[in-house]
Homo-oligomer: A and B are copies of this chain.
């Protein structure tokens, strides 16, 4: 059976090379991987969710996330800001007041995750059962 052009996500695929070199280039260069890493980090998606609902202040986010460290929230927000997913507005008052608002791009990104989230939710049971079965097989014999 002859092999042909892979039906892989094209992003980091190098169609000019033999398919032994498919790679998205797991770490470097690959924008898709980087975005995926961002999304899957501990807080990004939750921040997106909260900000998609409405603008929040820093401490407001921190209280709602409950468990996030000051440091990681700051880091997460900075990276999202850097990528153009949110706008950081500093009100020059004392004490300072900083507000975070999603950009349209940020809303798009969050919106894209919905199908995935729904899928994960609706397949929780299925997956749990698969695991139980697997573990039984592993332990049993």
> Measuring CB to CB, which residues of chain A are less than 8 angstroms from any residue of chain B?
6-11, 19-27, 31-32, 35-37, 39-43, 45-46, 49-50, 52-53, 63-68, 81-84, 105, 108-109, 112-121, 123-124, 126-131, 133-135
Asked if B36 contacts A37 (CB within 8 A), the reply is no
- Residues of B within 8 Å of A39, CB to CB, are 36, 40
Residues in B whose Cβ lies below 8 Å from that of A22 = 46, 49-50, 64-66
B10 contacts A121, CB within 8 Å? yes
Is A66 a contact of B21 with CB atoms below 8 Å?
yes
**Chain B residues whose C-beta falls within 8 Å of the C-beta of A41 in the assembled complex:** 40
Is B11 touching A52 in the complex (CB atoms < 8 A)? no
